[in-house]
Amino acid sequence: MDDRREELARRLAQVRERIASACAAAGRDPGEVAMLAVTKTIPARDVALLHALGLRDFGENRAQEAAAKVVEVAELLGNPPAGAAPRWYFVGGLQRNKARLVAPWVTRVESVDSARLADALDAQARRAADDGERDGPLPVLLQYSVDGDPGRGGVARDGLLTLASHVAGCAGLRLDGLMAVAPLHADPEEAFADVAAAAEVLRAEHPAATVLSAGMSGDLDVAIRHGSTCVRVGTALVGERRLASR
C-alpha cells in the first residue's frame, strides 16, 4: 500500500506540474482549471489513497460500478471532516434507465446529449430531492460532439442550443456548461478550437454555463490553451486500468 501511495503521489505531482505549466504558457491562473481524477475501473482503495493525497473530485463512467464504489469509498473513509467528502462526477455515456442509480449521489453529470436523457435525469433528481438525498438541482454539462459522429455520443453544433434550452427548462437540473472529447484521430488544436467556439455559443445564450470540461491525459495542455476549466485525468494519474475491487 505504501508503494502505491508513493506512486500515486508522484503521478499527482507530475499532473499538477503539467497543468501549472500549461496555464503559464496560456497566461492563465492554475486556479482556473480544476482536475477531475477519472477513477473508472480502479479499486476503491486507490480512490481512498487519492483522497488522502488531497483530491476530492472523482469521475466514473459506469453507473453500476460507480454506485458500488461510492459506497465502498465511504466505508473506507469513515466520516471525513466537513467539506472533505469525495465529490463524484459521471463522465460516460448514461442510459436513461440508469439515471435512478446516479441521481442520489452524483455531484455532476457531464454527458447529457439528448432531451430524453435530460428528462430521465430531471425526474430522478427531483425524486432524490423529495427523498432528502439531494439538496437542490442536479448540475449537468452538455456533451458536445466535435465531429457529429452519433456512435461516439454528444450533440452536434446545430442541436446544441435546442438541447440547452430544454435542459434549462428542467426544474430538477442546472445547466453548468459543456463537456467534449477530442476525436481520436483529430488534430487537437482544431478540435479544441471548435470546442471553445461551441462553449462561447452556449454561454452567449446561457451566461451561467461557464464550465468547460475538456482535455484528458494526452491532450490536457492543448485543452487548457483553448479555455478548458476542468481536465479529466485518468491514465496519467492512476496508470494502466485494473479491475475495480477492494
Alpha-carbon Rg for the chain in angstroms: 17
- The pLDDT score that the predictor gives to residue 245 is 41
- The pLDDT score that the predictor gives to residue 150 is 79
The pLDDT tens digits of the residues spanning 18-44 come to 999 999 999 999 999 999 999 999 999
- The pLDDT score that the predictor gives to residue 148 is 87
- The pLDDT score that the predictor gives to residue 1 is 61
- The pLDDT score that the predictor gives to residue 149 is 83
Instruction: With residue 142 as reference, give the H or E element that holds it.
Output: strand 138-144
User: Which DSSP category does 136 fall into?
Assistant: S
Strands 57-60 and 138-144, sheet pairing: unpaired
Residue 177's identity, in one-letter code, is G
- The pLDDT score that the predictor gives to residue 154 is 96
**Regions in the chain scoring below 50 on pLDDT:** 243-246
- The pLDDT score that the predictor gives to residue 244 is 44
Q: Residue 221 has which C-alpha cell?
A: 495542455
